[in-house]
């Protein structure tokens, strides 16, 4: 079946450095790729998303890139800050659904002061 | 604009009992999806409601059921609770556009513990 692989499972970076999280999806018909940030005890918060007609999208310190040929997409966070510490999830839409998402397993991002 | 709200925040039940969780969608959204998130894992899709009808379902047994009301709020009901039902239950609301995958906005979740 369809799946999304996410790496790494844990990422520790120095404050001010950049962080990159990568996801690979299996369904070539997936066309929507959101990224969510989840802090302890809270629900996932949408931080950025990209659709398959775009290769890159940026919002201040956060950017997402999509390579449809290779079926992978990445989250880039620059100038990391302590408040960026959280679990980040990638997801991909299912081909035969306009609402169901397949989720990655999550990346725990730790920002070291 | 009001975000997605869920109640209660926490709940403790015993095996075999029934539970009802509630969700109010974000202002302007007519679709609600429910997810189960076990500790350390990503959310798993349970089902979605659109215009008061179930619009799709994930791999969950029939003892997981739901409702959507005319004001677009929703309930998730779980019967005959099992220990493995212990999880964070998330509600997400969206406003579908034709031919485009929904952008979903999540509530804070309800932490259910089954003893």
What was the pLDDT predicted at B2?
67
- Name the percent of chain A lying above pLDDT 90: 76
Mean pLDDT of all residues in chain B? 92
Cβ separation B96–A106 shorter than 8 A: no
Mean pLDDT of all residues in chain A? 93
Of B6, B48, B108, the CB nearest to A99: B48
Shortest CA distance from A34: residue in chain B: B103
- For B:37-76, CB contacts with A below 8 A are 40-45, 48, 55-56, 58
Residue B28's pLDDT band (cuts 50, 70, 90): confident
Q: Which residue is listed with tokens 């969700």?
A: B23
What was the pLDDT predicted at A107?
97
Per-residue model confidence as pLDDT tens digits over A63-80: 999 999 999 999 999 999
What was the pLDDT predicted at B70?
92
Average pLDDT, stretch B81-96?
Answer: 94
**Contact predicate B15/B83, CB 8 Å:** yes
Contacts of B105 in chain A (CB under 8 A): 46
Size of interface A-B (CB pairs under 8 A): 63
Separation in Å, CA A104 to CA A70, B32, B41, B80: 17, 21, 9, 29
Q: Which residue is listed with tokens 């369809």?
A: A2
What was the pLDDT predicted at B56?
87
Cβ separation A46–B103 shorter than 8 A: yes
Q: Which two tokens stand for residue A99?
A: 């609402």
Average pLDDT, stretch B59-74?
Answer: 94
Intervals of chain A under pLDDT 70: 96-98
**Contact predicate A25/A32, CB 8 Å:** no
Contact with chain A for residue B99, Cβ under 8 A: yes
What was the pLDDT predicted at B95?
84
Average pLDDT, stretch B28-54?
Answer: 91
Cβ separation B43–A44 shorter than 8 A: yes
What was the pLDDT predicted at B74?
96
């Amino acid at each position: 079946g369809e799946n999304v692989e996410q790496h790494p499972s844990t990422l520790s970076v120095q404050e001010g450095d950049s962080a990159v999280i990568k996801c690979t999806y299996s369904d070539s018909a997936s066309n929507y790729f959101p990224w969510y940030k989840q802090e302890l005890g809270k629900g996932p918060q949408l931080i950025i998303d990209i659709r398959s007609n775009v290769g890159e999208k940026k919002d201040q310190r956060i950017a997402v890139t999509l390579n449809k040929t290779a079926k992978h997409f990445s989250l880039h966070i620059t100038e990391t800050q302590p408040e960026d510490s959280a679990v980040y999830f990638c997801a991909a839409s299912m081909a035969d659904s306009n609402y169901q998402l397949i989720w990655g397993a999550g990346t725990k991002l730790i920002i070291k002061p | 604009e009001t975000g997605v709200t869920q109640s209660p925040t926490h709940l403790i039940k015993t095996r075999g009992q029934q539970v009802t969780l509630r969700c109010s969608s974000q202002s302007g959204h007519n679709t609600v999806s429910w997810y189960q998130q076990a500790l350390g894992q990503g959310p798993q899709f349970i089902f979605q409601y659109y215009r008061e009808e179930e619009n799709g379902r994930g791999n969950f047994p029939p003892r997981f059921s739901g409702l959507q009301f005319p004001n677009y709020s929703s309930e998730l009901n779980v019967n005959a609770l099992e220990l493995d039902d212990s999880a964070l239950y998330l509600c997400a609301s969206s406003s579908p556009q034709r031919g485009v995958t929904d952008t979903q906005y999540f509530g804070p979740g309800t932490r259910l513990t089954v003893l």
